[in-house]
Structure formats: structure tokens, C-alpha cells
């Protein structure tokens, strides 16, 4: 097994496999209690119980703390905590759905291994290597942004002797007030936040990672199709078998895309649902109520909020572009050198590939950069509406 640094920089003498793009994802899921599916050791059982209690109860603790401290905190801190609490609504829903579909992700890995066996040339191996490297960097960037927010938002309030996000932990809050109760509450809150952010980073980066690898195999298939009929040493039967194998490869890519799309559909819908509200809350904090300090802290939070959807939408948009090149490659291949039996298959193959691979959020809207921009525009419209209501003047007067 390669080291993380080798995956990040694409180093190693041996040929890379597509499944190495998912190594960090599955390691991360194992760390947050998603694996093993059926724990056999008592340690694994306790680990999963603790993890799932944290996941399922996080909206309760955050909203309870928000309500409990509503009369004591300034509006800027309330909005900051509100943004985190809103984000916690989608987190357990996404976690449960991904956990239930973990079997399908393992099946996808087997299909990727089957696809890799068809590409053995140095140029093809380089494309797979670049895909592994890019996938690892997507995951690393997501984790870095989330952890940076978690560390900054957790440590800064400690200097003012305040709770990081004001969560409610009944068994800790019932203790007598003092330094022990304060530090125990703060440490538990920071650890819980870092765990939730780690889970969020995995669940937000996995769609972009899988789509990136689908793009790679679409490109490999496009290059392979463009070489049909160019090798004079191949017989008619060999050319026919090569064409059939290209069609089989395309069918397997479609199976992978359908499986990823079924998981991505609901999880991205959950994320888009809270995405608009989060951006609106951040803009209210930055442009109406916040001073320079609040604007900087809100901007730090806004970056991971945007990162939750942008990589997935970008990769989905690029996949649509890559898919559009496949029927062109079929049309421009040397089909004149092939026999009539191949001509009929080429017509079928071209018609089949004209349907681009696109992902939708529960069939309501496509997942791409256009949709992401539309949601951002809606957030700005919502912010403008609230601003025109004179909320800032009403708050200052109050």
C-alpha cells in the first residue's frame, strides 16, 4: 500500500490503479465509524456507538445551545452559531444515506479494477496516475479547509473564556460551574466539532473524487475509440472484438455513473438545501452586523461552505464536456477500414454515447456549476430582501 505522500504527488514505480483514489476516503470512513459494517470486536462496537451518537445528536446540541444563549450573545455570534447549526441539519441525513449505500461503493471499486485492466500503455497509466493524484489533492484540500475552520473557531473563543459554539451537553452542564466544568465542556465541544468536520469533509469530497475518476475513464475510452481501424495488423475479427470491448467499457462506465448518481442525488440535494441559507447568513454577518473581526471570521467560515458544493459541481460540468467528445471520436475513427458488421455497431455506439452523463439532485435540477451559481444568486436575492426590510436599523434601534 502506498504512502499518503506518494498518492498526493503521484510517486511510485508501479502502475497506479483507479481504486487508489479512494484509499483516503475509506480510511476516513473507517475512522468515523462507517467501517466495518458488522463490527466483531467490542472496541469497534463502542466506537460506532459513540460516533453515531455524535452524528445523530449534533443538530440537537447546536440548536439547543443557540436557543439557550439567544438572549446573552450579540447578533454576530448568534448568526455565526446559526450557520453552523443549519449545516448540522443535513449532516446526519447524508451520513445515514451514504452508510446505507456503502455496499454499492465497494461494487464500483470492482468495476474500476475491471476497467483498469484494459489500459496498460505508459500514456494510459499516466492518465490514471494523474487521476489518483488529483483525487487525493481534492480530499486533502477539503480536509485542510474544514480543519482550519474547526481549529480557528474552537481555539479563538477560549482566549475570551467562552464556549466555542455554545453547545448544550447536559451531563457536563449539570456539573458545578468552575474551571473544571468549563474546560471539560470546551474540550468535548472542540473534539466533537473536529469529528463532525472530518465526517463532513469525507462526505463532501467523495462525489468529486468519484466523478473525477469517471472523467478519466471517459477520456481513456475516447482515445481508445479514436484508434479503431488504424492498426493494419489487426484482422476484421480482432477489430470487431475491440469495438465490442469499447462498448462494454462504456456500459460499465454508465453503471458506475448510475450508482454514483443515485448516492449523489440525495446527498447533494441535502447540501443544496442548506447552501443558500448558509450564504445568506454569512452575508448578513459580513455586510450588515459585523465589524472587521467578524467579517474575517465569517469569511473563514464561508470558504468551506462554498467548498461543500463547488468541487462536485465543477467535476460534473467537466464530465459533461468530456462526454461530448466521445461521439465525435467515434465518428472520426477509421471506420472505413472496418467491415459492415462493425459499421452497424458503430451506429449503435454513437447513438448511445450522444446521451451525456449528467447528475441530478432528486431529478429537480442538474448538478453543475450553473446550478451552483443560481443558488448563490438566490442567496444574494434573499439577502437583499432582508436588507431592504431594514433589519439592521431595527436591530440598532432595539
Nearest CA to 196 among 89, 100, 68?
89
**Predicted local confidence at residue 131, as pLDDT:** 94
| Per-residue cell: 232 | 493494419
Mean pLDDT across 102-112? 91
What's residue 398's pLDDT? 53
pTM for this model (two decimals): 0.91
Which of 73-77, 280-284, 338-342 has the highest average model confidence (pLDDT)? 338-342
For residue 392, the cross-strand partners are none
Strands 360-361 and 365-366: antiparallel
Mean pLDDT, the chain, rounded, equals 85
- Residue 366: its H or E element: strand 365-366
Q: How confident is the model over 287-304, as pLDDT tens digits?
A: 777 677 777 778 888 888
pLDDT category of residue 37 using cuts at 50, 70 and 90:
low
Cβ(285)–Cβ(298) below 8 Å: yes
**Is 361 in a helix, a strand, or coil?**
strand
Amino acid at each position: 500500500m502506498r504512502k499518503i505522500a506518494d498518492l498526493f504527488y503521484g510517486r511510485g514505480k508501479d502502475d497506479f490503479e483507479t481504486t487508489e483514489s479512494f484509499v483516503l476516503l475509506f480510511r476516513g470512513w473507517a475512522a468515523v465509524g462507517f467501517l466495518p459494517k458488522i463490527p466483531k470486536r467490542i472496541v469497534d462496537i463502542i466506537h460506532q456507538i459513540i460516533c453515531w451518537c455524535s452524528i445523530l445528536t449534533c443538530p440537537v446540541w447546536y440548536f439547543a445551545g443557540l436557543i439557550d444563549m439567544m438572549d446573552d450573545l450579540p447578533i454576530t455570534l448568534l448568526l455565526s452559531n446559526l450557520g453552523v447549526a443549519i449545516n448540522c441539519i443535513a449532516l446526519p441525513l447524508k451520513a445515514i444515506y451514504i452508510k446505507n449505500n456503502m455496499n454499492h461503493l465497494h461494487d464500483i471499486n470492482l468495476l474500476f479494477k475491471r476497467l483498469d485492466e484494459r489500459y496498460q500503455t505508459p500514456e494510459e497509466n499516466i492518465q490514471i496516475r494523474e487521476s489518483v493524484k488529483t483525487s487525493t489533492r481534492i480530499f486533502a484540500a477539503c480536509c485542510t479547509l474544514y480543519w482550519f475552520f474547526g481549529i480557528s473557531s474552537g481555539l479563538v473563543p477560549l482566549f475570551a473564556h467562552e464556549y466555542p459554539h455554545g453547545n448544550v451537553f447536559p451531563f457536563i452542564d449539570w456539573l458545578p460551574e468552575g474551571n473544571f466544568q468549563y474546560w471539560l465542556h470546551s474540550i468535548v465541544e472542540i473534539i466533537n466539532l473536529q469529528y463532525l468536520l472530518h465526517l463532513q469533509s469525507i462526505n463532501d469530497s467523495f462525489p468529486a473524487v468519484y466523478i473525477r475518476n469517471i472523467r478519466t475513464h471517459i477520456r481513456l475510452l475516447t482515445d481508445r475509440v479514436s484508434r479503431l481501424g488504424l492498426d493494419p495488423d489487426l484482422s476484421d475479427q480482432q477489430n470487431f472484438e475491440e469495438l465490442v470491448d469499447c462498448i462494454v467499457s462504456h456500459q460499465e462506465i454508465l453503471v458506475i455513473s448510475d450508482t454514483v448518481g443515485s448516492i449523489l442525488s440525495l446527498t447533494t440535494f441535502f447540501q443544496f438545501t442548506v447552501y443558500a441559507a448558509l450564504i445568506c447568513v454569512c452575508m448578513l454577518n459580513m455586510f450588515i452586523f459585523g465589524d472587521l473581526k467578524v467579517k474575517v471570521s465569517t469569511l473563514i467560515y464561508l470558504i468551506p461552505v462554498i467548498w461543500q458544493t463547488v468541487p462536485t459541481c465543477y467535476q460534473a460540468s467537466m464530465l459533461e464536456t468530456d462526454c461530448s467528445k466521445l461521439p465525435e471520436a467515434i465518428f472520426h475513427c477509421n471506420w472505413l477500414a472496418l467491415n459492415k458488421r462493425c459499421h452497424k455497431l458503430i451506429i449503435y455506439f454513437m447513438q448511445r454515447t450522444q446521451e451525456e452523463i449528467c447528475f441530478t439532485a432528486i431529478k429537480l435540477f442538474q448538478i453543475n456549476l450553473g446550478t451552483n451559481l443560481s443558488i448563490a444568486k438566490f442567496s444574494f436575492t434573499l439577502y437583499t430582501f432582508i436588507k431592504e426590510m431594514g433589519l439592521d436599523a431595527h436591530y440598532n434601534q432595539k
